[in-house]
Structure 1
Amino acid sequence: MAAIMYGGSLIAIASAANAQGPNPQQDMQTDGAEPQEAAGRVDDIVVTGSRIVRNGYTAPTPVTVVATEQLLLTAPGSIPDGLNQLPQFTVSSGTQNTGNQATSPNGGNYLNLRGLGSIRNLVLLDGQRIPPTSFQGTVDTNVIPSSLVSRVDVVTGGASAAYGSDAVSGVINFILDTSYTGVKGSAQVGVSDYGDDLSSGFDIAAGFDVFGDRGHVLLSFDHYQREGIPRNEDRPRGGDYITQVGNGTAAAPYRNAGPVYYQTGTFGTLFPLGVNFAANIGNPLAGLHFLPDGSLVPFNPGVRPAGSSNVGIGGDGSPSIGKTLTGGQVTDQLFGRFDYELAPNLKFFAQLGFAQSGNTFVTIGSGTQTNAFYIYSSNPYLPTGAAALLNAYPGRDGVFGTADDRRVGGGRIHADQPFKEVDALNVAYTFLTGLTGSLGDYSWKATYAHGDSLLRSAHSGNFLQNRYFASLDAVRGPNGNIVCNITLTNPGLMDDCRAINWFGDGSPTDADYDWVSGVSKYQVAQTMDIVAAEISGDLFELPAGPLSFAVGAEYRTQRLEQRSNSDPSIPTSTVGLRTNVAQTINKYNSTNVGQAEGEYNVREAFVELAVPLLADMPLIRSLDLNAAARYTEYSTSGGVTTWKVGLSYVPIEDLRLRYTRSRDIRAPTLYELFAGDQAARGGFFDALTGRNDNVITLSSGNPDLKPEIGDTYTIGAIWQPSFLQGFSASVDYFSIEITDAIANLGTTTANEECIASSGASSVCQYIVRPFPFNYTPVADNFPLAVRTLPFNQALASLHGIDYEFSYNTPFSSFGRSGDLGLRLIGSYVPGRKTRTDIDAAPVENANVGVNAKHRINLQANYREGPLSLTAQARYIGEIQRTRDVTVFYEEPTVPSVVYLDLTATYDFVVDGNDLTGFLTVNNALDEKPPLIGNGQPGQQYPTNQGIYDVVGPYYTTGIRFEF
């Protein structure tokens, strides 16, 4: 057993080398707890939160420490999955919420501490910064060599002064067992209660001495794969096409309804009614659609709910189908490390890691082209009677085409096309080398680190826009063959064009789809180099003890380069095209990612002091001061100073009080500064026109960004009553306020502000409409595109309470005796505000959307001999639909949810080797996710996948071994 020192208090944690089942006496100690048995410890390890290394020192910073075995008990798939179950983590990005586009890292596992965004927590490996694996500057924690991770330390508060910039919401430090000796490994398989989402994994690690006992070698290999759930329809409610309808008034509150279908597109092509597509007002073909056999019949729009512009309940409309519910992943990690003692007080080390994480998911199985094109009466695939009827209509020229070639607006859901799949691959190489040693009473370390990461993303099945629109415009050629109009009007421009019959589900052939489709690709390469040095020790004795220090410096360079085959800043020619509604088009229907290139260097220097103020006095057993300061200078945004001050006070033996106050920063990432245009396509509700339809969203970087500033304070207590052995409790109040917070301009917010100003606000420039703001008829003025870009938001803040209670005791029942461990971890966040600019009123977001006010984990572990039984209940409190008293919902709250996870392990010995078999059932009671209608029909599963389980009961079994 290794004893972890949390400032001078020891938390007993099972060593990662121990292949036996978890022991509640070892694994379930609360933050700051004294061990029940310290005599058996092998070494002392300093917990993240301070760079001071000194026996008897207590850092005031709250830290949640979790052993690997504890994380894998209820999340056998990976250590990050286990972390995501802790109340302090919410809305982490990963395979459980893949999204409809491939313009952001939707695979992998990007941890989100406090719900403030993955970009605001710093991810470390043994205290060293890990190079970003996404262009957003975040780290896919799936690339960490999990088989050698002994524990994870989570600093739940600002830590920039101690560990560097970007640690605004905290630090997640993965600690390796670098002294491990022996061979250990595991193998496992898993399956859902529905017989899908198969998973498998294995890992092996070895550590051995070389050159006598002066050298030590560590090697490991980890592999894990999981198929995911291919379609929303594979789970209850996924095929019900439930969508939020209503207009939020008392008379027509927002409510869930289903089945809801598009009134602007069908599987076989629809000519929408004029109320759905203003350009079709009065058109004789409006309200007709094609059956699979190509016949044109009247369309039943179903019942249009209040507040909706393009969907109906029931009727002949169609949904989007085929979207992946949870993505597939394959991860592999190779790791090697070599330590060598050059002299009694001098050690050399070098480690090399390689990891890759592959992710696949379907964005939308059926391409959704609603209100997206025109069909002309000259199209020979139109039934003769329909073409004649259209030509006989004396509509307005320019709106209905020319007098001799009338047109009608159409929409189609391409259920017959191959699914649009994303394949993303993250590859990361990390190298770290350095020297550690001591000079008298001082310890020192000097290191060099290099990291390379490469993200490649390919989105297949994307329509090449100019080809798609050209294929829609079919005409008769001079020889009577059906050809594309562009081949006649602009010969030589697109002579290989295929005139496609889009009328009827199944009419386009595979060859047709091959011709109009392509693969949108981009890749992001990043490199990071870090040179760092630090020294720590005791300066001199004070009456209450030694004054300790740590001082160091770091120089870091980082470079980003992004390349793409779909740069939206490069115009796509529309010459010869007359069927597209929009005035401009991107190369692909979705996932148009621009170029980006940039670099910066960072200089940092820090100092930290631990000052014992008073000791061994009445009501003052100890009073210690911890203070740190760091100066950071970015070549892109200048210099800034961060600092931390904290107090640790022990009035009586059983009680410790702590307080910290810190100033932290996050500088804008290279991508936030230098990203070129990128474009995505998705749903957008426009309050001006009343339409809820697909729109192009453009985004880019902003070179004028400055660092955001975080102010954090915590105050808390740790209580370990001597009269109740095995019990420990900690409670901490925290407050984080981020000024000049970097956030993307919200397109909905910008549109609402523009409308409220009657088109006069400066934000109107980000809503690109085909006509002036006050154009009539207003229904024709749905945006062509909306733009978002990062800016320094005025304010983002939250406050709340973290609490943790644990109790470990011998337990006897029914004539049997064993050990019982109980642990409760909770987070209560009653306040979470944002303000978009200095003149705007703060908006309270606590307990709304994904921000549950209460999140609690309760875990019980019973061990008797070789058998261990663990149960964990995860509670997510009820959430309000809105805090706006003028907005009404039929069901104003999302109900609370409790997930039950069960694990059984059994230790046995084969030929003198220790083995442990295990079986875990996640969501054992099959708790269904709350019903939350969102998005457009079929494009999203009707819940919030960022916080609720959509997989259902999941069974994992396997074996761990050590010899």
Structure 2
Amino acid sequence: MTEYKGKTLKAGLMASTASVLAAMAFTTAGAYAQESQDAEAEFEEVVVTGSRIPRKDLIANSPVNVISSEEIAVGAFVEVDRVLDSLPQTASSNGPTTNNPGNGQANVNLRNLGTQRTLVLLNGRRMVGTGANGVVDLNNIPPALVKQVEVVTGGASAVYGSDAMAGVVNFILKDDFEGVQVNGQYGLSQEGDSERYNVDFTMGGNFADGRGNVVIYGNYLKRAQTLAGDRDFAAVQLDEFLDDNGNPIFLPGGSSSIPQGRFSGSGGFNFLVDDNGNPVAYDGSQHAYNFAPVNNLQLPLDRVSVSALGNYQITEGINMFAEMMYANNRIEAQLAATPFSEANVDIDLRNPYMSTALRNLFATRDTDGDQVVQLTINRRMLEAGPRLNIDNNKMHRYVLGFNGDLDNGMNWEVFYNYGKAEQTQRQDGNIVISRFRAGMMVDPNDPTQCLNPDNGCVVLNPFGEGNMTEEMINYLKIAATNVTIVSQQQVGATIAGSLIELPAGDLGFAAGVEYRKEKAETQPDTFLATGDVDGFNAGQPTKGDFDVKEVYLETVIPILSGVAGAEYLGIEAGIRFSDYSTAGGVTSYKIGGEWRPFADLKFRGLYQRAVRAPNVNELFLGASNSFPGGTDFCNATSDRTAAERDFCLQLGVPADQIDTFQQQDAQIEVLLGGNPDLYEETSTTWSVGAIVTPEAVPGLTVTVDYYSIVVDDAIAALGGGLQGTLDACNQVLDLNDKYCQALSTRRADGQLEKVPLLNENIARFTAKGVDFSAAYNFDALGGNFDLRVLGTRFLEGVTQGSPFVEANDCVGLIGVRTICGRANPKWAFNTRLTYSIEDFTASVRHRYIGGVTDERVAFGTKPREETLVPEIPAVNYFDLGLRYALSENLSLFTNVDNVFNKKAPIMGRGVAGQLNTDAGTYDVVGRRFTFGFRANF
């Protein structure tokens, strides 16, 4: 650092970077207490995330949580998403233990409003997204290089622009490191699996008589694969049934696409083939395929990353800074073998592999005598092996900028930020639909040969488990390669500081301009693009771009200071105008303030209007398929009305099946796609809170904040999703209605397929609650204790997929694959107690996840008495960390996560999906041990 006129300007000043003191304000409470006791002391002016104006007050008016490098070190975290687990404001999202859905990327989801509504910054500037949706993969940020993480929850678009509707996560890197540091650690579970290997190397030093500094960093992480079959609770897919007495029970269940092959058609025709090739009536409760054991419980990851940061004082008032980052993440997802499922498949009765009994059964449907029948085939292609999805994600990021001080005390900065992400995805295990169909038709003159010999056609034997030969599989199986390239360019200039001195203090001011361009392109494999595969989801190419020009202003105005009843009273305000090439001009703003009646107490409040422009994926996504859960109102249930029955005939349910019709699978294929006519989302956020730093209890800080976030015109699939579309149509039962038109895409047997659900500005979300924290640092027992508590009481979490469906409050509920998503407990908090004495440190973390109720019970769609697990009780996890410094340059540490080996709660499949639990919220690996060292040279 270099002194300028009594103020400290950090070398390489980052527009949104706070000092270490800001971290201490939260992690130890000591810094803020000292600041209160000695208000006249000379403090370093810092920029706290949530504002661009440097100030001496270390606690902003926006609720800001800070995770220090000490927290990262004590927890032995090698994945950034695990670092953020210490914040109850973050909802669980797809990560290392969510295999389906999920691709191994690590994302952050503040307030459970969606990962696309949380803005991720690195040193105050944007990170490039990994996909066309713009969502940042946190695997690209190695924790050992992080100085601290600052998290602002609530809309922050006026300060940082689009995407900051739920809040901002700002990762601040070590940019002034001196020396050489090597960290190494190894971890595994109590079962001897789920291994993690991690090595970090950091080297830095000053040059040019201290005018410059360079830091170079390297990291290698290997996370081993763990299969669901390696844990008792996940090895068998459980389905919920009623016993003979009407009581709910769990029994082995699974998929209706079975290895034996299932052949079905109209009139209740539904048979599988036994080991002798004979037909057997299909019974879903007995014959379902257990897909669970070969699914990943922990996704394997190989990460290599290299970073370099530098700054140099060119002159007394001008500094140059630069950043370079490269990361390569290889992630492998594994699912059960392809569930081949196609309707209206022509099956030639002359197929030589067909038993006489099966041929005679099929012949009963050959009404025209041409030796060909049409049936629906559902067959699990075990012979092709599991489906593998191997992603190689490369990320490059480069920043170059200049900053400094003006003679009037203002700070300035200009920068250029370029990021590029390249994803090469290789899929293995897909089955080509057209080839399967061709393999079912034989040459009448030589039934051992295909009717059409193109592509080396081989006559297939899907009649029974294990009957597909290697030759048949080689003909059917195809490896697909998809490529996604995303680029981001950002140019910005900021001026900030104290504009003039008012009687109550300095008038803070910040102004800036930015230009940003986002481009994304996804080129799927030819087979996937044509939809000619079963296995992984197919999709059309996606290509698009947009740019935005922005200008913003921000001010902090002191009104009173040092008078009775107002130790300080001031307001802050900000506004940003953004001109998007797609959404047009949008405006976001904030206004709020603070009042400190006396030194021990501060009140704060903020009202913000935030916006989020649609991303490339939402605008230009080529049609892709997905398989969400949904319940077709055409099902012949006791409560189906006559009007519904008649309308379902119009939708395409065959008349000879209408009175017995039942959807075959809980998951229904839908087609998702972009909409270039989308406009911006808007949100209204306000928060009010208090900070207490009692002089009578040095080292104590207590905060409490109420927040309310309402997102309108949210971008979502038609109807807010499949079930929302079904519900919307069910309200009107009109073929002219767009929701009902989407449900007319039915097969000949009446089953829904390829339901088009393109994006619309149609949804609404609400998040309300109370955040609280307490930090107390004190000396006792010959050492130092540091106690921190972070908590949230969720009051409201409303999801409304469209104006035509009911708004559902998901607080205290769990849904996973349906309305409410993963667990949304009313209470969530984390507590860490750390004791340090001389060279020894011990730390205990307690994570509390409140109890939740099955959403089906809460919403009345499933009777409580028919639900085996209507509620999941609160879950408590305890983690232990021990560290001992053998010398000034070498320390050893060990950690035990989930000390008491708390098992993941089991719940009904209708809620949990796969793995019989909510793998994104609860610990599915079990007790884990970590051993490591840190060496400085």
Contact residue 376 and residue 407 of structure 1 kept, 8 A: no
The equivalent residue for 1:621 is 567
2:346 matches 1:364? no
224, 230, 234: which one pairs with 1:234? Answer: 230
The equivalent residue for 1:463 is 431
TM-score by length of 1: 0.86
Task: State the 1:712 CA deviation.
Answer: 0.5
How many residue pairs end up in the alignment?
882
Task: State the 1:180 CA deviation.
Answer: 1.4
The equivalent residue for 1:576 is none
2:487 matches 1:509? no
The equivalent residue for 2:450 is 484
Contact residue 686 and residue 692 of structure 1 kept, 8 A: no
> CA–CA distance in 2 between the matches of 1:389 and 1:59?
75
2:883 matches 1:905? yes
SS class of match (2:466): coil
> CA–CA distance in 1 between the matches of 2:34 and 2:724?
51
Task: State the 1:615 CA deviation.
Answer: 1.0
Q: What is the identity, as a one-letter code, of the residue corresponding to 1:279? A: S
Task: State the 1:155 CA deviation.
Answer: 0.6
Contact residue 199 and residue 221 of structure 2 kept, 8 A: yes
741, 744, 764: which one pairs with 1:765? Answer: 741
2:681 matches 1:708? yes
> CA–CA distance in 2 between the matches of 1:351 and 1:591?
37
SS class of match (1:549): strand
490, 494, 511: which one pairs with 1:534? Answer: 494
The equivalent residue for 2:644 is none
> CA–CA distance in 2 between the matches of 1:348 and 1:7?
16
Cα 1:498–1:566 change in 2 (3 A) is same
> CA–CA distance in 1 between the matches of 2:9 and 2:233?
48
The equivalent residue for 2:532 is 586
TM-score by length of 2: 0.88
The equivalent residue for 2:633 is 687
The equivalent residue for 1:304 is none
SS class of match (1:356): strand
> CA–CA distance in 1 between the matches of 2:625 and 2:16?
49
Task: State the 1:684 CA deviation.
Answer: 4.9
Cα 1:530–1:548 change in 2 (3 A) is same
> CA–CA distance in 1 between the matches of 2:220 and 2:349?
58
> CA–CA distance in 2 between the matches of 1:95 and 1:41?
46
258, 261, 281: which one pairs with 1:266? Answer: 258
The equivalent residue for 2:382 is 415
Q: What is the identity, as a one-letter code, of the residue corresponding to 1:908? A: L
2:783 matches 1:783? no
Note the alpha carbon deviations across 1:619-666, whole angstroms, 9 max, x for none: 211112111111111111111111111211111211111001111110
Q: What is the identity, as a one-letter code, of the residue corresponding to 1:716? A: G
The equivalent residue for 1:177 is 174
Q: How does 1:635-784 map to 2 (within 5 A)?
A: 635-681=581-627, 684-689=630-635, 690-693=662-665, 695-745=668-718, 746-760=721-735, 761-770=737-746, 780-784=749-753
The equivalent residue for 1:52 is 53
The equivalent residue for 1:960 is 934
The equivalent residue for 2:853 is 880
> CA–CA distance in 1 between the matches of 2:630 and 2:763?
25
Contact residue 537 and residue 549 of structure 1 kept, 8 A: yes
The equivalent residue for 2:29 is 29
2:318 matches 1:318? no
The equivalent residue for 1:386 is 358
Note the alpha carbon deviations across 1:818-869, whole angstroms, 9 max, x for none: 2222211111112111333445543222222222111111111122221111
The equivalent residue for 1:927 is 902
Task: State the 1:78 CA deviation.
Answer: 2.1
2:504 matches 1:522? no
Cα 1:418–1:785 change in 2 (3 A) is same
439, 445, 468: which one pairs with 2:413? Answer: 445
2:612 matches 1:612? no
> CA–CA distance in 2 between the matches of 1:43 and 1:547?
17
2:121 matches 1:124? yes
Cα 1:547–1:455 change in 2 (3 A) is same
The equivalent residue for 1:81 is 82
> CA–CA distance in 1 between the matches of 2:160 and 2:15?
17
2:301 matches 1:355? no
The equivalent residue for 1:279 is 266
Q: What is the identity, as a one-letter code, of the residue corresponding to 2:575? A: A
> CA–CA distance in 2 between the matches of 1:37 and 1:625?
23
Contact residue 568 and residue 594 of structure 1 kept, 8 A: yes
The equivalent residue for 2:819 is none
819, 832, 840: which one pairs with 1:867? Answer: 840
Note the alpha carbon deviations across 1:220-269, whole angstroms, 9 max, x for none: 1111110131x22211221232124579xxx979x56211255x443222
The equivalent residue for 1:113 is 110
The equivalent residue for 1:792 is 761
Task: State the 1:299 CA deviation.
Answer: 5.1
Q: What is the identity, as a one-letter code, of the residue corresponding to 1:787? A: P
Contact residue 188 and residue 200 of structure 1 kept, 8 A: yes
> CA–CA distance in 1 between the matches of 2:803 and 2:111?
24
Cα 1:373–1:455 change in 2 (3 A) is same
The equivalent residue for 1:548 is 508
Task: State the 1:926 CA deviation.
Answer: 1.3
> CA–CA distance in 1 between the matches of 2:554 and 2:186?
47
> CA–CA distance in 2 between the matches of 1:598 and 1:9?
35
2:93 matches 1:92? yes
Contact residue 679 and residue 697 of structure 1 kept, 8 A: yes
> CA–CA distance in 2 between the matches of 1:265 and 1:597?
34
Cα 1:6–1:649 change in 2 (3 A) is farther
Cα 1:159–1:901 change in 2 (3 A) is same
SS class of match (1:416): helix
Task: State the 1:753 CA deviation.
Answer: 2.5
Q: What is the identity, as a one-letter code, of the residue corresponding to 1:384? A: T
Task: State the 1:320 CA deviation.
Answer: 2.2
SS class of match (2:909): coil
Note the alpha carbon deviations across 1:770-818, whole angstroms, 9 max, x for none: 36xxx9xxxx311122222221124211100010012222222xxxx32
2:519 matches 1:559? yes
The equivalent residue for 1:914 is 889
Cα 1:57–1:830 change in 2 (3 A) is closer
Contact residue 11 and residue 33 of structure 1 kept, 8 A: no
Q: What is the identity, as a one-letter code, of the residue corresponding to 1:791? A: E
135, 138, 142: which one pairs with 2:135? Answer: 138
SS class of match (2:679): coil
Contact residue 920 and residue 955 of structure 1 kept, 8 A: yes
935, 941, 944: which one pairs with 2:918? Answer: 944
Cα 1:497–1:894 change in 2 (3 A) is same
Cα 1:880–1:161 change in 2 (3 A) is same
> CA–CA distance in 2 between the matches of 1:389 and 1:146?
63
Task: State the 1:426 CA deviation.
Answer: 1.5
Task: State the 1:41 CA deviation.
Answer: 12
Contact residue 520 and residue 588 of structure 1 kept, 8 A: no
Aligned-pair identity (%): 28
Q: What is the identity, as a one-letter code, of the residue corresponding to 2:797? A: R
Structure with more contact order per residue of length (Cα contacts < 8 Å, sep ≥ 6): 1
Cα 1:698–1:208 change in 2 (3 A) is same
SS class of match (1:753): helix
Alignment RMSD: 3.2
Task: State the 1:186 CA deviation.
Answer: 0.4
The equivalent residue for 1:19 is none
The equivalent residue for 2:160 is 163
Contact residue 27 and residue 775 of structure 2 kept, 8 A: no
Contact residue 568 and residue 677 of structure 1 kept, 8 A: no
The equivalent residue for 1:274 is none
SS class of match (1:233): helix
Cα 1:288–1:59 change in 2 (3 A) is closer
Note the alpha carbon deviations across 1:253-286, whole angstroms, 9 max, x for none: 9x56211255x44322244xxxxx45263x5xx5
Task: State the 1:568 CA deviation.
Answer: 6.2
258, 274, 280: which one pairs with 1:290? Answer: 274
> CA–CA distance in 2 between the matches of 1:885 and 1:420?
37
